[in-house]
Amino acid sequence: MVILLAVLVTFLILSYFYSTRNFDYWKKRNVPHFRPIPLLGTIHSVLMRKKSISQYLCDVYNMTDFCCGGFFIFDKPALVVKDPDLVKNVLMNDFSHFEDRNTAENKEHDLLSAVSLLMLKNHEWEEARSRFTSTLSAGKVKAMLPLVADTADRFVEHVRDVELSREVTECRELSIKYSLDALSSYALGIQANSFQNSDFYQAARNLQNATFSRIVHSICYFFAHMFVKPFRMTFLEPASVTFVTEVFKKNVKLRRQVEHARAGLLEALIKMEGEFKDYNIDIHGLAISLEYLTAGFISSATTLSFSLYDLCVNPKHQIRLRGEIRSVIAKHGGLTYAALREMEYLDMCLKESLRRQPILGFLDRRCTKTYQIPNTDIVIDKGIPVYISLYGLHNDPNYFPDPERYDPERFSPENRDKLERFAFLPFGEGRRNCIGVNFARVIVKMAIVKLLLNFEIVPSKSTPEKIVLEPSGFITIPKHEELNVRFIQLADLPILVR
């Protein structure tokens, strides 16, 4: 018994010293930081699901007025950079020092995620980015406009047939269904029928759900890499991946057998088989299709639902936007690609919603070679994770006065040049920015245009006065995954937009 106790005490002492061996890292560099505790570092609030990753990184951002702030992921030092000039260096000027994301990779147990643009590192990422950029070119997005418009029409029909009779409509789930229909049409060449709660909708909806296990896996992929491989963790839900994989392979086979007039993603992926020797459509093609589908519908739905909420609780802006929509459509004789691009106030409203509630509340990078922060003595060692808090920047009163106020005029032509460019980064910036930003904008704008032409969006009896976010995961999610509003049919007839 005495020997057992001595072994236990020795183990605890050694564990303490091992887990705290790096805790003077930021102190020695004179970087403001949260005080760590043994074993957990400073991220215990994230591990206990009291705060999301985004909320925690915002706390680090707000901790100091210095250009950066330190924290500890278990025993590993990490940094949040907050000065816009330093943010610019990380994302663009000194990209060669920060070219990788700080996400885990698990090719053995999660190959499809490992070869995605999100997870790939160094030269592999550069090759893949170059290869797939053309699949979301401006021309491809413009060609998809009729399909997106048809999907938005089905959204309107659903609201008219189902939601008008309800006192409360949960617009986040509707936004997910619409976005999933639009993205599946492009990424897989199918009509998902999400508003009918199809099997495909159920599977795709669960690719990145907010269940406890998914949240744990997400935290580990971003923060606790050491658990990913031993516990065979996956970034996407395995059963859903299997279902979508079967749909993908089935449709690729059909595209090979029958010529298809539409130049969608599948056609581009099939064409790549003869262009790249190291390309396997069942791995690399499937991976990019999954990534476009998942990241696309989540980002579009998140942006759309928060935008609808903001317009709901700010009726004067909704009225002004509806007026612009009608005016521009009348000018162009229909809802064309050019008309959508000309809707300046719509763009301003979207940017303000993205400022208030960014899709992902942070950007992550890993220092790939030693870097000295300009005009300081601070050296960031190779391997240190570096984060940019979008919540911190987007809600910093130094860049956006009265940040809690919804004010699209911040992004008006008159004010645009006054904004600090690297304080507003909803889709990232530099070479690792979001590849699908243009398509996502078209999806969101089309839905808002079609909805405002037909309905007034007003507060319901359960519309929150202020949005509260779920304290877990890495995607911006409202409390209880709900954003409740109410749709009312406009008294005047909607304008013909086909």
Confidence band of 263 (pLDDT split at 50, 70, 90): low
Residue 65 within a domain: yes
- Residue stretches of the annotated binding site for heme: 434
DSSP sequence for 362-406: EEEEE--S-EEPTTSS-EEPTT-EEEEEHHHHHT-TTTSSSTTS-
Secondary structure class of 485 (helix, strand, coil): strand
- Tell me the angle at which helices 315-332 and 437-454 cross, rounded to the nearest 10 degrees: 100
Distance CA 389, CA 53 (A): 10
Mean pLDDT for the chain overall: 93
Mean pLDDT of 329-340: 97
Confidence band of 122 (pLDDT split at 50, 70, 90): confident
* 11, pLDDT greater than 50: yes
Looking at residue 262, what is its pLDDT? 60
Mean pLDDT of 428-435: 94
- Residue stretches of the annotated binding site: 434
Confidence band of 104 (pLDDT split at 50, 70, 90): very high
Q: Are 386 and 86 in contact (CB under 8 A)?
A: no
Residue 458 within a domain: yes
Q: Are 469 and 305 in contact (CB under 8 A)?
A: no
In the chain, the number of structural domains is 1
Q: What percent of the chain has pLDDT over 70?
A: 97
Residue 11 within a domain: no
Structural domain boundaries, residue 319? 27-492
Residue 4 within a domain: no
Looking at residue 260, what is its pLDDT? 61
Looking at residue 432, what is its pLDDT? 94
Q: Are 157 and 181 in contact (CB under 8 A)?
A: no
Q: Comparing 12 with 309, which gets the higher pLDDT?
A: 309
- Helix locations, 78-134, DSSP H: 84-88, 111-114, 122-132
**Which DSSP category does 412 fall into?**
S
Mean pLDDT of 179-202: 93
Mean pLDDT of 306-335: 98
CA 110 vs CA 217, 229, 244, 498: distances in Å = 12, 9, 15, 44
Residue 364 within a domain: yes
> What's the helix, strand, coil split of the chain in %, to 5?
55, 10, 35
Residue 359 within a domain: yes
Residue 99 within a domain: yes
Looking at residue 498, what is its pLDDT? 42
Predicted confidence (pLDDT) per residue in 343-365, tens digit = 999 999 999 999 999 999 999 99
Confidence band of 472 (pLDDT split at 50, 70, 90): confident
CATH code where residue 93 lies? 1.10.630.10
* 47, pLDDT greater than 70: yes
Mean pLDDT of 20-24: 90
Q: Are 241 and 290 in contact (CB under 8 A)?
A: yes
* 321, pLDDT greater than 90: yes
Mean pLDDT of 40-62: 94
Looking at residue 261, what is its pLDDT? 56
Q: What is the pTM of this model?
A: 0.94
Q: Are 373 and 110 in contact (CB under 8 A)?
A: no
Looking at residue 495, what is its pLDDT? 46
- Mean pLDDT lowest for which of 213-227, 258-272, 344-358? 258-272
Mean pLDDT of 267-283: 91
Confidence band of 173 (pLDDT split at 50, 70, 90): very high
> Which contiguous run of DSSP H or E holds residue 425?
none
* 486, pLDDT greater than 70: yes
Looking at residue 362, what is its pLDDT? 97
